[in-house]
């Protein structure tokens, strides 16, 4: 292609990309462009090119190198989750989850089994993001074999010393044929309708640049058009969640024996014992740099706060964080709903205690119609996947449902109203929620059914007796920690 | 004190604290409560107590232990900056900047000189936060000498193995008298009108709890009242920034020789040379895990973007981040204006390139009256302090002012309007800003005068010739990096 012709085409393309960026600002979805491939310098050039062609204020580039200490402590996908662009923004990603896993596998830092898991994580990640509206454009810059081999040879000669990460890039081709096979298979395994790979021949600069630019423009334009159509035909199904078939056959809540209780004397005695034990176990846990996630869900006034305080008073304040979950902030709303929880995963030796959690998606958001049917229905898998990644990283997820009956709740509401410093805890909304008791029962049963997994089972706590509930919670935390310690010592 | 009397007082106190928290939600300032002192378990108990007494959803507790890898790479105050509470929220801080420095000094991890610097940082930190409205309440829980010695003895016996951080707590008292002297002196040195220490006798639980609660209630109430008064008498001075005395005697901008230029051929040649050199130096920089901050300021259309791209094309995309600075988000606005920049300090081996920066405070915010006189006037010191902390940590701060004249700017505006993909860069606002050219000249001169420091001098770049400017920027970056590398190799 002649330079003059290229320049002319670029001019038109830039104008279009800018127009699309302006339209994108008001969109209710983000864009994530993955720039990958065997053309190492091409990836870098492409990143710079896009910064030149587009309005860089609404581009957000992230390149991933060797994992930091913190990244190593957290599930593999953590660093990609935390950097996700928000609605209206275009994220650019170098060394994405798939490419980075390929590198690690080819240089034998992870084995076959771990690699397979990575591919599962990657696919689940992309599926959950695209299902929630994100446009993912995955570009693989490909060099013909001849040229790639030639470049690798030059690079090896030219660089006396190379950056660690480049060394890795080099190393993956130490067995060229194996690398080729693995890459081809992986690209196939991570290709889906909603996020497919676009292989772009990278040897001719002009062709490549135009190809990349046009692809991006085309994809964004199509996505914007789809959004426009979506808006014309609002989802009729939303807000009718509870009329849908509930697949839960078993009424889990009815199996909870609410008559369980503890007298004050036994309670005091047990509390001392279990708090001491918890303190000891948590101390060991921290010494081993292990972390843990505890989730408290339950009816309003079921006593979540009280249970949390009995637990935290056994822990040194430096080692836990209680995360009260309320309505999302503006920034949080402009992201996938799991984004804010991914960001709060504890680092090694720390404990995150969630007072309400991501389960809001399948509870209040479902009942109130804040989430569409499609949204809350997909959430079960999304949540299970999230918790599995924590579990796989050795971070136990302990989940409590604190259960009380309707009469007990009313009594507690009344009691709160008479105590000045508890009065603020009761609002009109609490009474409104109460009226939806039956709706909530259905959603809670569904939640327990679909998210009680082998790696993160729900623990249902009879809580009509606060004493009983607090001890049960402490006991269960102790059991899980003890088991985790035992398992890790026999590994 | 009798238990019944205590309970009664607590009831009233809790109700008041909750009321204050509700009032605080709409306040335009945050509260930061430091819980420190020689009573280790008392600190922890107090944290739990406050969570019990108040609405924990609007409390944000942070406890600081041994610094993480990332914390070690950044200035000491970084971890405290990034966790600051936003307006309406109460932050609780365990092992604050002062207490942590005392520990490190007493166990000889930092020397006298470093300790003195820490005290300077601490005082500057508190001064800048309180000057911008934050209420800081510093509590020192104090045990009588007898009792403290007794407790230390028990702890030593009781704990077979102690957490690292507790070991430190213990160690500081290995020379009891020295510890006492250092603590007393430091508390005095870090006591100021706007953030003074409140020494609270900690041996009696009831007394201590009431004392802490009442102190917090009293301080928040007083601060809320002050705010209310402030609102009745709006600051008459704001928006009149430019009528104030400008202390800059020298016209820095006039000293810039705008006739400098480079012909295309020389430019291409030089560009190649300096990009190659920059690439080489940046590579060495990264190999040594050094990081760097580069700031681009300049008139609209002065060519910041072009200079940045010529620089970044020499760097591997994984190692730099361009941070375009626009209007703050809601979350950012609810914090000290430097908060969002502290959060973007690069980690080891990385480079942050700011396209506009914290200098907006003393430029556009001053001219447009977004910052009050008091606010932009104090900003010079606040900014210098920020940059000094980066410099002290071995992170060079390279600052460019790209200068063009009024005619050149107009020409570039006109040119942009004719190019479709540049058209979006020109708005009405650009023309409005142009009308304030003289106001801006004054503010720019003041800025250069007051923030050109030995550790972070301004580099004024004649930019009527884009070619000339780009080469100058590259040259200067190379020089600074080269010097830094040299200095660190002779250390």
Beta pairing class for A197-201 and A59-63: unpaired
- CB contacts < 8 A, A to B, total 129
Alpha carbon separation from A195 to A122, A130, A187, B261, B293 (Å, rounded):
11, 8, 11, 48, 36
CATH number of A241-490: 3.40.50.300
Option in B18, B56, B64 nearest A305 (CB): B56
Per-window interface: B 371-430 vs A, CB < 8 A:
419-421, 423-425
What lies within 8 Å, CB to CB, of B45 at 6+ separation is B205
Q: What is the rounded distance in angstroms from the CA atom of residue A390 to the CA atom of residue A397? A: 7
Report chain B's mean pLDDT, rounded to a whole number: 89
Phi, psi values for residue A69, rounded to 5°: -55, -45
Best mutation target, B306, B307, B316, to test chain A (most A CBs within 10 A)? B316
Q: What is the rounded distance in angstroms from the CA atom of residue A326 to the CA atom of residue A462? A: 24
Phi, psi values for residue A306, rounded to 5°: -65, -45
Closest CA to B280 of B482, B438, B99: B482
8 Å CB contact between A352 and A293: yes
Q: How many CA atoms lie within 13 A of B210 on its CB side?
A: 15
Task: Please give, one letter per residue, the 3-state secondary structure of B26-73.
Answer: CCCCCEEEEEEECCHHHHHHHHHHHHHHCCHHHEEEEECCCCCHHHHH
Q: Is B276 on the interface with A (CB under 8 A)?
A: no
pLDDT at residue B250 above 70?
A: yes
Helix (H) or strand (E) run with residue A167 in it: helix A164-171
pLDDT in tens, B403-420: 999 999 999 999 988 887
Q: Enter the DSSP assignment of B487.
A: H
8 Å CB contact between B39 and B141: yes
The whole-angstrom distance between residue B307's C-alpha and the CA centroid of its chain comes to 27
A95 with B318: Cβ contact below 8 A: yes
Q: How many CA atoms lie within 13 A of B396 on its CB side?
A: 21
Helix (H) or strand (E) run with residue B293 in it: strand B292-298
Q: Is B313 on the interface with A (CB under 8 A)?
A: yes
Percent of chain B whose predicted confidence (pLDDT) is above 70 = 92
B70 with A70: Cβ contact below 8 A: yes
A317 with B43: Cβ contact below 8 A: yes
CA dihedral angle for residue A347, residue A351, residue A355, residue A358, rounded to 10 degrees: 40
A309 with B48: Cβ contact below 8 A: yes
Q: Which pLDDT score is estimated for A157?
A: 65
Counting runs of H as helices and runs of E as strands, what totals does chain B give? 21, 10
Q: Is A456 on the interface with B (CB under 8 A)?
A: no
CA dihedral angle for residue B23, residue A312, residue A317, residue B347, rounded to 10 degrees: -90
pLDDT in tens, B253-309: 999 999 999 999 999 999 999 999 998 999 888 889 899 999 999 999 999 999 998
Mean pLDDT on B331-352: 91
Beta pairing class for A292-298 and A397-403: parallel
* Cβ contacts of A216-222, under 8 Å, gap ≥ 24: A216/A17, A216/A33, A216/A50, A216/A137, A217/A13, A217/A16, A217/A17, A217/A20, A219/A135, A219/A137, A220/A20, A220/A24, A220/A31, A220/A135, A221/A20
A321 with B61: Cβ contact below 8 A: yes
Q: What is the rounded distance in angstroms from the CA atom of residue B424 to the CA atom of residue B357? A: 22
B287 with A161: Cβ contact below 8 A: yes
Q: Which residue of B has its CA nearest to A51?
A: B309
Q: Which residue of B has its CA nearest to A332?
A: B331
Q: Which pLDDT score is estimated for B243?
A: 44
Task: Please give, one letter per residue, the 3-state secondary structure of B236-277.
Answer: CCCCCHHHCCCCCCCCCHHHCCCCCCCCHHHHHHHHHHHHHH
- Residue keyed to tokens 């259905």: A442
Q: Which residue of B has its CA nearest to A282?
A: B163
Q: Which pLDDT score is estimated for B167?
A: 63
> Between residues B173 and A231, which one has the greater pLDDT?
B173
Q: How many CB atoms lie within 10 A of CB B332?
A: 16
Give exposure, B369-385, as e/b (b: 16+ Cβ within 10 Å).
ebbbbebbbbbbebbbb
Q: Which pLDDT score is estimated for A318?
A: 67
Q: What is the rounded distance in angstroms from the CA atom of residue B66 to the CA atom of residue B127? A: 25
Q: What is the rounded distance in angstroms from the CA atom of residue A74 to the CA atom of residue B104? A: 29
Q: Which pLDDT score is estimated for A40?
A: 84
Q: What is the rounded distance in angstroms from the CA atom of residue A280 to the CA atom of residue B37? A: 25
A14 with B420: Cβ contact below 8 A: yes
Cβ-based contacts of B344 with chain A (< 8 Å): none
Cβ-based contacts of A61 with chain B (< 8 Å): 317, 321-322
Q: What is the rounded distance in angstroms from the CA atom of residue A328 to the CA atom of residue A326? A: 6
Option in A18, A64, A421 nearest B18 (CB): A421
8 Å CB contact between A355 and A324: yes
Residue A296, classed as helix, strand or coil, is: strand
B95 with A61: Cβ contact below 8 A: no
First to last CA, chain A: 60
Cβ-based contacts of B329 with chain A (< 8 Å): 330-331
Q: To 5 degrees, how large is the angle CA B135–CA B137–CA B140?
A: 165
- Residue keyed to tokens 């000339």: B468
pLDDT at residue B244 above 50?
A: no
Q: Which pLDDT score is estimated for B239?
A: 41
Q: Is A94 on the interface with B (CB under 8 A)?
A: yes
What lies within 8 Å, CB to CB, of B306 at 6+ separation is B466, B470
B421 with A321: Cβ contact below 8 A: no
Helix (H) or strand (E) run with residue B113 in it: helix B112-131
- Tell me the torsion sign for CA atoms B13, B16, B18, B21: negative
Cβ-based contacts of B321 with chain A (< 8 Å): 61
Which two tokens mark B309?
């791209």
Option in B14, B18, B324 nearest A57 (CB): B324
Helix, strand, coil tally for chain A in percent (to 5): 60, 10, 30
Cβ-based contacts of B56 with chain A (< 8 Å): 305, 322, 324, 355
pLDDT class for B160, splitting at 50, 70, 90?
A: very low
Mean pLDDT on B236-241: 41
Q: Which pLDDT score is estimated for B40?
A: 84
Q: Which pLDDT score is estimated for A406?
A: 95
Q: What is the rounded distance in angstroms from the CA atom of residue A291 to the CA atom of residue A391? A: 11
The CATH architecture annotation of domain A3-232 reads 3-Layer(aba) Sandwich (3.40)
Q: Which residues pair with A91 in a beta bridge?
A: A32, A60
Per-window interface: B 32-51 vs A, CB < 8 A:
43-44, 47-48, 51
Q: Which pLDDT score is estimated for B238?
A: 41
Q: What is the rounded distance in angstroms from the CA atom of residue B214 to the CA atom of residue B195? A: 17
- Residue keyed to tokens 């979805």: A29
Q: Which pLDDT score is estimated for A161?
A: 45
Closest CA to B208 of B303, B109, B273, B141: B141
CA distance B74 to chain A (A): 14
Q: What is the rounded distance in angstroms from the CA atom of residue B223 to the CA atom of residue A209? A: 59
pLDDT in tens, B266-277: 999 999 999 999
8 Å CB contact between A297 and A473: no
- ipTM reported for the complex surpasses 0.85: no
Closest CA to B193 of B136, B234, B246, B147: B136
Which two tokens mark B43?
């600190």
Q: What is the rounded distance in angstroms from the CA atom of residue B60 to the CA atom of residue B93? A: 9
8 Å CB contact between A93 and A35: yes
Q: Which pLDDT score is estimated for B235?
A: 40
pLDDT class for B153, splitting at 50, 70, 90?
A: confident
Q: Is A65 on the interface with B (CB under 8 A)?
A: yes
8 Å CB contact between B200 and B215: yes
Mean pLDDT on B31-54: 91
8 Å CB contact between B143 and B202: yes
8 Å CB contact between A98 and A36: yes
B317 with A283: Cβ contact below 8 A: no
Percent of chain B whose predicted confidence (pLDDT) is above 90 = 67
Alpha helices (runs of H) in B159-204, residue ranges in sequence order:
164-171, 176-189
CA distance A368 to chain B (A): 22
Structural domain spans, chain B: 3-232, 241-490
Q: How many CA atoms lie within 13 A of A368 on its CB side?
A: 10
Q: What is the rounded distance in angstroms from the CA atom of residue B380 to the CA atom of residue B373? A: 12
Q: Is B171 on the interface with A (CB under 8 A)?
A: no
A318 with B95: Cβ contact below 8 A: yes
pLDDT in tens, A394-411: 999 999 999 999 999 999
Q: Which pLDDT score is estimated for B234?
A: 39
Q: How many CB atoms lie within 10 A of CB A374?
A: 13
Check for a shared fold between A3-232 and A241-490.
yes
Which residues of chain A, if any, have pLDDT below 50? 160-162, 232-244
8 Å CB contact between B281 and B475: no
Q: Enter the DSSP assignment of B86.
A: P
Q: Is A160 on the interface with B (CB under 8 A)?
A: no
């Amino acid at each position: 292609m002649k330079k003059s012709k290229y320049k002319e085409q670029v001019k038109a393309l830039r104008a279009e990309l800018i127009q699309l960026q302006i339209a994108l600002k008001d969109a209710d979805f983000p864009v994530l462009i993955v720039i990958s491939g065997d053309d190492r310098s091409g990836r870098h050039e492409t990143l710079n090119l896009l910064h030149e062609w587009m309005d860089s204020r609404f581009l957000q580039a992230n390149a991933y190198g060797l994992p930091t200490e913190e990244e190593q402590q957290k599930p593999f996908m953590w660093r990609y989750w935390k950097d996700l662009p928000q609605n209206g923004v275009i994220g650019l990603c170098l060394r994405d989850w798939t490419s980075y896993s390929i590198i690690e596998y080819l240089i034998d830092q992870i084995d076959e089994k771990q690699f397979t898991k990575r591919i599962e994580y990657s696919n689940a990640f992309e599926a959950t993001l695209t299902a929630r509206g994100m446009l993912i454009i995955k570009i693989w810059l490909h060099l013909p074999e001849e040229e790639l081999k030639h470049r690798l040879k030059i690079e090896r000669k030219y660089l006396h010393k190379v950056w660690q990460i480049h060394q890795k890039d080099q190393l993956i081709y130490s067995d060229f044929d194996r690398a080729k096979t693995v890459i081809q298979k992986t690209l196939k395994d991570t290709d889906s309708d909603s996020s497919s790979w676009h292989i772009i021949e990278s040897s001719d600069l002009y062709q490549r640049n135009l190809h990349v630019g046009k692809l991006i423009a085309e994809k964004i334009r199509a996505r914007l058009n789809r959004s426009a159509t979506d808006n014309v035909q609002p989802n009729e199904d939303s807000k009718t969640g509870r009329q849908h078939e509930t697949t839960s056959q078993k009424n889990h809540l009815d199996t909870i024996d609410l008559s369980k209780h503890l007298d004050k004397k036994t309670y005091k005695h047990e509390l001392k014992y279990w708090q001491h034990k918890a303190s000891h176990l948590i101390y060991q846990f921290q010494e081993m740099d292990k972390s843990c996630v505890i989730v408290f869900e339950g009816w309003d006034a079921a006593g979540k706060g009280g249970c949390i305080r009995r637990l935290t008073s056994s822990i040194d304040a430096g080692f836990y964080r209680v995360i009260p979950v309320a309505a999302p902030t503006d920034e949080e709303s402009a992201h996938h709903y799991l984004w804010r929880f991914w960001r709060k995963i504890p680092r090694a030796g720390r404990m995150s205690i969630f007072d309400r959690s991501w389960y809001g998606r399948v509870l209040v958001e479902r009942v109130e119609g804040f989430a569409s049917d499609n949204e809350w229905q997909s959430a079960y898998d999304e949540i299970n996947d999230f918790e599995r990644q924590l579990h796989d990283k050795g971070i136990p997820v302990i989940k409590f449902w604190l259960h009380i009956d309707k009469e007990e709740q009313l009594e507690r509401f009344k009691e709160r109203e008479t105590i000045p410093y508890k009065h603020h805890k009761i609002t009109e909304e609490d009474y409104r929620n109460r009226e939806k008791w039956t709706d909530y029962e259905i959603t809670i049963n569904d939640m327990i059914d679909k998210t009680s997994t082998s790696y993160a089972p729900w623990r249902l706590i009879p809580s009509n007796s606060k004493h009983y509930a607090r001890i049960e919670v402490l006991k269960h935390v102790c059991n899980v920690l003890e088991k985790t310690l035992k398992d890790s010592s026999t590994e």
